[in-house]
A and B are shown apart, each in its own frame.
Chain A
Amino acid sequence: MSHDTTTEGTDTASEGADTISRRRLRWERRLAALRNWAGILKADRLGQIGIAILAFFLFVGIFARPITVEFGSAWFQIQPFSLAPHESSARVADESLAPPSREHPLGTTSLGRDVYSQVIIGTRVTLIVGTIAAFMAVFIGANVGIISAYYGGWTEDILMRITDVVYGVPFLPFAIALVFILGASLVNVIAAIVLILWRGTARVVRSQVLSHKQRPYVESARAIGASDFRIMYVQIMPNVLPLITLYAAFAVAWAVIAEASLSFLGLGPPGMISWGEIIYDARSAGALREAWWWVFPAGVCIMLFVMSVFFIGRSLEKVVNPDLRHTQ
């Protein structure tokens, strides 16, 4: 700060410039972090493959079917393209369980539906559940972690005991029970996943914040008179953000696997075809043996999607933990 200025006018002016430069400094720091990751990514083949696969699925998910928005009787098409040739539940062939042909690249189901379209449209549920559930879980987990570590005392006791209890709940059985009791819907599936998934982030973020709390920069921020909120979210949070991002990547993976597993049990969101549900349909139709074209594409898609997230997570891990950088 420049305190050598004499007149009030120049003082506020220079302070204004000071805040601008500080903001710029912060942005530059963020940019540097991003560049850091980009630098690591340049040498990390798996991370590149992961991003490419994820981008591909994102593209497919957005352009799977036209997206329309309705306002009463009026409707707008915000996305007119359609990669999937048919609706997922449209009966397009008289012949059921037809093997792949030119007309139906991945064959048809026992009800004469086009598997190729179903797989493309199924990308959407995966993307929706993966992003929303992971974001919510990490949001809750990070806040629980930061608040409990920062305040300590009974706040920490209560929050961490709750985390312990959640650690005692088996993930999938809980999700099954909750979805079954409340009814299968997109919201309930996401809720069931979020209610369990936040626990990992909470514990890890807490232990990181505990170590940051002791550091001089927090002390000096407190000495200046910064509020608790400011110290937690402006001072400490950026330092644990890489870790939170890493856990977000893994949360996406677990959320997608959980959704696929629920759908495989027939508890997926109704009216929305998903990869897990395609396999559930094939299994309930008793077609696992003969109709490989019905089962395999969806399974491969789940595997590729989760794999891409893992690959990205691994390269993020190198940002969080520089020791890993030299070990491939």
Chain B
Amino acid sequence: MGLREYVIRRVFQLILTLWTLVTLLFILFRMVPGDPTSRFVMDYPSDAERQARIEELGLNEPLYIQYIEYMGQLLQGEFGDSAHYRQPVSEIIFPLFLNTIVLMFTALIIAYTVGILFGAAMGWFRGSRFERVGIIATLVARASPEFWIGIILVWIFVFQLGLFPRSGIGGYGGELTMNFVDRYINFDFLRHLILPALTGAIVYLATPALLMRNTMLEVLKADFVEIKQAEGLPERTVLYKHAARNSILPLVTVAAIATGAAMGGSVIIETVFNWPGVGREMVASVSRNDYPVAMAAFLLMGTSVIVMNFVADILYLYLDPRVKYE
């Protein structure tokens, strides 16, 4: 199979997976025991008004018609209306999604920079005390759920040292309407960003660190490392310029997959720090039975996972010519 054919097949698979996710979501949110309309249409003063609302939303139609309408809406980028906010879901959810992306990107960039450098050093100094302590430290970080790391950080930096704000995103309440620059490029935002981003960074650090160490061990067996050492280059140059560069390849795809997973894994961090993102919004809207918002949040997180998995596969193809198309 040629490259082009593989990519086309992979694109079809992507579409199929997305469609399945959307359908799964539809089924999931209609599995609710009891009267499903009560979950979508909440308190209305009179029965007649409630009935009108149900008909307006098409909830009295048979399921397959609802399904077709739901798919049609999604294709137009519409998620319906939120009962809680009394406005279209898309207007609420996209600014929140942007908050999540900003938070998780910061966390991932820290995690992958530190993780790669740290992992490379662990591979280089194999068998040393540094490596053994490093591995234990990464495993301990990995063994802690996000909320536990978050709580420890809050306890140290907020309760004991008082350095950072406890929660939120800063701004003056009107944060959702401000434009990108006003919202994210200011000192107050940075102060709010540090702790949640650090929590994410600690959680996501283990994967690149351990993987980098393992590939380093492979690369260090290669002849060119010995040659570079024989050339009399300083150890640091050989480590980071030659050995580490050649170990980074497998990490690119892992980073892509981790980015997708992070969008879905932000739920806990956002809850701990009251970060107004899709994850926290999903938990909140599910518990207040605002299902259109919950579905949209879930869909955004699922789509990021699927799309980033796809990106990882394609990246892998272009980066490593030795790959055979399956």
Contacts and interface: CB of A to CB of B under 8 A. Distances in A.
B29 A181 contact: yes
A327 B148 contact: no
Nearest to A324: B214
B83 interface: no
A304 B302 CA distance: 31
Contacts of B146: 261
Nearest to A167: B309
B185 interface: no
A182 interface: yes
B228 to A, nearest CB: 22
B144 A302 contact: yes
Given A180-B287, A181-B32, A265-B283, A170 B261 contact: yes
Nearest to B304: A170
B286 A176 contact: yes
Interface in A257-312: 257, 260-261, 264-265, 276, 279, 288-289, 292, 295, 299, 302-304, 306-307, 309-311
B68 interface: no
Interface residues of A, number: 43
Nearest to A280: B147
Nearest to A292: B155
Given A181-B31, A311-B139, A170 B147 contact: no
A173 B264 contact: yes
Contacts of B217: 327
Contact of A307 (B33, B143, B152): B143
A225 interface: no
B302 A261 contact: no
Contacts of A253: 143
B200 to A, nearest CB: 14
Contacts of A180: 286-287
A171 B264 contact: yes
B79 interface: no
Measured as residues with beta carbon below 8 angstroms from the partner, the interface class of chain B is 35 or more
Contact of A168 (B17, B28, B147): B17
A297 B235 CA distance: 44
Nearest to A256: B145
Nearest to B141: A303
B265 interface: yes
Contact of B143 (A161, A168, A310): A310
A169 B302 contact: yes
Contact of A328 (B127, B142, B301): B127
A257 B141 CA distance: 12
Interface string B124-145: 0011000110011001101111
A288 B286 contact: no
Given A261-B145, A299-B151, A303-B143, A168 B21 contact: yes
Given A169-B21, A327-B217, A176 B282 contact: yes
B139 A170 contact: no
B211 interface: no
A288 B155 contact: yes
B100 to A, nearest CB: 12
A306 B301 contact: no
Interface in B22-41: 24, 28-29, 31-33
Contact of B131 (A172, A311, A328): A328
Nearest to A300: B148
Interface string A102-139: 00000000000000000000000000000000000000
Contacts of A302: 144-145, 148
B124 to A, nearest CB: 13
Nearest to B28: A177
B279 interface: yes
Q: What are the 7 closest A-B residue pairs judged by CB atoms, nearest first? A: A170-B264, A306-B143, A168-B306, A307-B143, A299-B148, A165-B20, A170-B301
27 contacts: A168-B17, A168-B20, A168-B305, A173-B264, A173-B267, A173-B297, A173-B298, A177-B282, A180-B287, A181-B28, A181-B32, A183-B33, A260-B147, A261-B145, A261-B268, A265-B267, A265-B268, A265-B283, A288-B159, A295-B151, A299-B151, A303-B143, A303-B144, A309-B143, A310-B139, A327-B126, A327-B127
Given A168-B309, A177-B286, A182-B31, 8 more contacts: A170-B264, A170-B298, A176-B283, A181-B31, A292-B155, A303-B140, A306-B142, A306-B144
Interface of A: 46, 161, 164-165, 167-174, 176-178, 180-183, 253, 257, 260-261, 264-265, 276, 279, 288-289, 292, 295, 299, 302-304, 306-307, 309-311, 314, 327-328
